Structure 1
């Protein structure tokens, strides 16, 4: 058993245990003192512009306007956000939908209450001279992926192209960087549009002595391949949603978050600075790129930021049920049961933010042209 498969199994086991032991202690709203409600929000990864909307909502006082004191809990390699939520160590969590649905199937009672990323940011990146421009071109290639549930779209893309992930490609455990691709150890690397793809454009091309250019690479975009799955969403504890106070807190949290993402859409440089100040290890140009690319995943949002599109949701579920991994297992064995998602609270938050003058659709959003510096400085 590979290390990442062992860790995933361990995480699932922890989820199952937590689901059986923490339901009672999770009833009711977060603690309140002096009229302010304290909320813990578990992020999916380390502080970076992927979470700029939440960071801005804290730093610019948008949560405070809602009567909340929100603590952002940084994620990491060995942290599964939905586990933290399921164990009652956080009030809400940010997690990708297929990963969270897999946890729900194992017994963790969580509900998607705010689908802030409307599009997938996952790429498979190869050098342009490798002749890889679509999933079918990966046949016989060394294909990197991170595991931990990040590989679901890759497997879905391979399956749609008629390839067996366990036989037709050589799967390589990839670190959370692009060094294996740049060294030539793998033919195609997994990358997020807002993070690892920028890393290759921040690297020096030894043939020219200058930074690599987008023309040096080919990108497989799962949105274009038709196998994109929903990613960053805010998840709440399902049983606690039966409590009126927790419902009200959920609306307040989502309202502040909407304000945060709208602010970052309109003020990307300031949000970059907020993220850098928060302690991100990534440089300023990299964070501005990430801020810009993250906004592309959110805006425009024709029906309103954070709403779950049922077509996108159903596609994610169907792919999770039909796509097999290298061992022949699927992400889900059946459709999610119970309240897997609801638009009830985010719609109230949208209405509330809109009445406060916030542009909740971003119909006029135009991405910036960002110049990357060496190493993302």
Structure 2
């Protein structure tokens, strides 16, 4: 059966993404690099999947704190945007490394992109479906008969997998093409909206509840966490060029160095969230101060505590992501991939070397005792 998606929200939402809170704005372009880099440092370019925001705090912190320079690298961070597919930029040879979600890259790999996940930075998924408590939506099964929002564009798979696991068909819901904001949800046009823990969820908590005159509170919301539902997919990872890894020993060595310094950057961000948020703001993000700090703190929760060391790719989590990518259908009946990805799609070789070096230096790569900070959100995230 053909399923139609209703469009609701901002007209031209995709072209307007850069202006929305989800993305923030930047005036710095691709000029973020170590300021004291000497000519003896190896130039490296990292492609982000979105513009400057604390979702990428560890990389900005690694530049700012000189961790890349300590490894002999002069790193430039290229911001992403709605028209940039980071894995394609990497596969084309235009950058050295890229940050992207695993399911999105699996589709590109099946189309011929020869790239490798060399460090799975986010161990947990940040994608949720949120609703106001009066809707009584606490599990995927409760979505039946509801108006459900989804961004689409590769962000929908955990939602669809969760529904299919719970026996909820697309015919059982009213699927709404959700704009990249929470306006339709806040106005009551969407019962259950897609939200990242580090961004859109906070946007709701930064909004005044007209019934109380105060900001919305967590107890006003129910959250479906795809980690709990068993349909979480691996998200932000460091991707490298597979051909270069196999043929260029210098590139392979630099990959270890890049991962090592990046992990140190993420440890810094987790332990010094206010400083890290400030570093990202200085890099050009226009997100408000409390929102930026919230994002830094929430992103750290996706990394720490680490099960096997930051960046290690868990085989079970990888297999689950591949299984969902092969067997979950979207509203058009399509799946992300049709066959298993090649063995080169991921490798723990380089992150293992990086972790061994860090542990030898006395660095805590597990964050077992790490605890998030308490963040007070202000109206509008300011």
Does the pair score TM above 0.5?
A: yes
Give 2:234's aligned residue: 230
Give secondary structure in 2 for the equivalent of 1:95. Answer: strand
Contact 2:47–2:78 (CA under 8 A) maintained in structure 1: yes
Query: How far apart, in 2, do the equivalents of 1:79 and 1:131 lie?
Result: 38
Aligned match of 1:45 in 47, 50, 53? 50
Whole-angstrom CA distance in 1 between matches of 2:184 and 2:102: 28
Contact 2:130 2:195 in 1 (8 A): yes
The ranges of structure 1 where at least 4 consecutive aligned residues each deviate by more than 4 angstroms after the TM superposition are: 1-4
- The CA distance in 1 between the partners of 2:177 and 2:97, in whole Å, is 30
Structure 2 residues not aligned, in runs of 5+ = 8-36
Return the alpha-carbon distance in structure 1 between the equivalents of residues 351 and 6 of structure 2: 38
- Residue in structure 1 matched with residue 84 of structure 2 by the alignment: 79
In the TM superposition, residue 263 of structure 1 has moved relative to its aligned partner by: 0.8
- Aligned pair in 2 of structure 1 residues 33, 244: CA closer, same or farther (>3 Å)? farther
Q: Is the 8 A contact 2:6 2:175 kept in 1?
A: no
Select the residue among 168, 175, 180 that pairs with 1:171.
175
CA 1:142/1:67 → structure 2, altered by over 3 Å: closer, same or farther? same
- Work out whether 1:363 is the aligned partner of 2:375: no
**Aligned to 1:299, which of 287, 304, 307?**
304
d(CA) in 2 for partners of 1:137, 1:58 = 45
Aligned equivalents of 1:34, 1:278: Cα separation in 2: 23
Equivalent residue number for residue 246 of structure 1: 251
SS state at 1:154 partner: helix
Q: Structure 1, residues 241-266: CA drift from partner, whole Å, max 9, x if none?
A: 01101101101100110110011111
CA shift for structure 1 position 355: 2.2
- SS in structure 2 opposite 1:303? coil
Structure 2 contact 5–176 (Cα < 8 Å) conserved: no
Aligned residues: 350
The answer to whether 1:36 aligns with 2:51 is: no
SS at 1:339 equivalent: helix
1:169 Cα deviation (Å)?
Answer: 1.6
Structure-2 residue corresponding to 1:103: 108
Q: Is the 8 A contact 2:309 2:366 kept in 1?
A: yes
Query: Gaps (5+ residues) in structure 1?
Result: 5-31
Measure, in 2, the Cα distance between the counterparts of 1:217 and 1:153: 20
What is the deviation of 1:348? 0.6
Distance in 1, Cα, partners of 2:66 & 2:292: 21
Aligned to 2:122: 117
Matches within 5 A, 1:280-291: 280-291=285-296
Q: 1: distance between equivalents of 2:380 and 2:108?
A: 36
Aligned pair partner of 1:316 in 315, 321, 325:
321
- The structural deviation recorded for 1:170 is 1.8
Q: Deviations over 1:139-171 (max 9, x none)?
A: 122211111101110110011011223x22222
Residue 2 of structure 1: CA displacement?
Answer: 7.7
What's the CA shift for 1:188?
1.1
Residues 274-309 of structure 1, C-alpha deviations (whole Å, 9 max, x = no match): 111111121111111111110110001132110000
Q: State the alpha-carbon separation in 2 of the partners of residues 155 and 334 from structure 1.
A: 19
The two structures have a TM-score, normalised by structure 2, of: 0.89
Q: Could you tell me how far apart the structure 2 residues matched to 1:45 and 1:129 are?
A: 34
Q: Give, in whole Å, the separation in 1 of the partners of 2:216 and 2:281.
A: 24
- Residue 213, structure 1, aligned to residue 237, structure 2: no
| Counterpart contact for 2:5–2:175, Cα < 8 Å | no
Other structure's SS at 1:140 match? coil
